Amino acid sequence: MRSKVQSLAQAVGRVGDGARLVMSANLQRPPMAFLRELVRRRVRSLRVIGVVGGDLNIDFLVGAGAVAVVDTCSVTLGEFARTGPNFARHVIAGRIRVLDNT
């Protein structure tokens, strides 16, 4: 059987500008190494879909300027912030499009 395991660089290399990323809200295990590598590679115009909301993962990508569209019911930082600060700032400034999927 062929292995499905890939290096971080290989996995991130599969994500190009305009791609769709689906992530769940989970402050305890966000894929930060993966997200930081996306930002380093300057991937842009992502459509991020938050399943059962979004949190640090979506807020981080929005703050880095990698996101064009967020499709989720909420972006919070749990007990630390009612709304992700980067997310709120970009929404107010009209820099991202938000689709509510509640």
Token duo for residue 11: 């996995």
**Which bin fits 94, alpha (ψ -120 to 50), beta or left (φ > 0)?**
left
Domain ranges, ordered by start, for the chain? 16-100
- pLDDT digit string, tens, across residues 54-83: 889 999 999 999 999 999 999 988 888 889
Q: Can you give the pTM of this predicted structure? A: 0.90
Predicted confidence (pLDDT) at residue 27 exceeds the cutoff of 90: no
Region 20-40: what's the mean pLDDT? Answer: 88
Q: What is the DSSP string of 27-49?
A: TTS--HHHHHHHHHTT--SEEEE
pLDDT at 29 over 90: no
- How far is the C-alpha of 71 from the C-alpha of 87, rounded, in Å? 12
